[in-house]
Structure 1
């Protein structure tokens, strides 16, 4: 069995990510491995159908909104890193599943820990597909964490 020397914990700051975080910290503490926390900001989630771009001010509003969301994600990541130290953290931008897999490969991670899905409704569907993508494409083992009973 291969030693786990570096674990990558992917978070979207949802309740299920908090549960996955517990597992990632447990692995770090019990296997004495490095822990890296990543959050991926996917600007494509803010794409609007073409007709909306013809409304005056929409492009400016959208650019400002995206910048604000990126800032919030970066701040949340820094706060989490401080909370669960010792660990490192990386804020990524791009397609979520692809970014997680690429970063795990580039940083030679031995395991990825993540929730099976994030928020509810449409976002839940998207996050579930991210976990599926990572399981199918990651170069290393992936530990997916299901919600606790009663969590959405």
Structure 2
């Protein structure tokens, strides 16, 4: 365990991310290591089918909406940082899984802590799984936190 000096906590601001945050804070406190919080904004999630691009004003609306979402994401990161003892935060843009793995590798993190929504079957096939991608491609250990079973 002494090899874990830097932990990256990845959040999407969901309830399961809040649970994963508790694990990240626990590990930080027990191991006395650094903790950084990251959120990845994926602008591709706002892609619209082509016909909508021909509607008057849709480009302006979409740009405004994306700008607002980025601002809210940065504000949410600041709020989390304030509740965790002012941990450093990073706001990234791109494909979530690959952006997380690249950032963790570039900054030499020893562990990534993140929640997973536990998609299975058809949903996982169609939607993909960020957590699965990160587990498969990260250079370091990954702790994934599952939602409580209902």
Structure 2 length normalisation: TM-score? 0.91
Structure 1 length normalisation: TM-score? 0.90
In the other structure, the counterpart of 1:45 is 45
User: 4+ runs of 1 displaced by more than 6 Å?
Assistant: none
In the other structure, the counterpart of 1:115 is 115
Distance in 1 of aligned mates of 2:99 and 2:2: 24
What per-residue deviation string (whole Å, max 9, x for no partner) do you get for residues 52-73 of structure 1? 1000000000000000000000
Q: Give 1:23-34 correspondences, 5 Å limit.
A: 23-34=23-34
In the other structure, the counterpart of 2:138 is 138
Query: Unaligned regions of 5+ residues in structure 2, if any?
Result: none
Structure 1 position 149, deviation (Å):
2.9
Whether the 8 Å contact between 1:41 and 1:92 is mirrored in structure 2 is: yes
Q: How many residues align?
A: 146
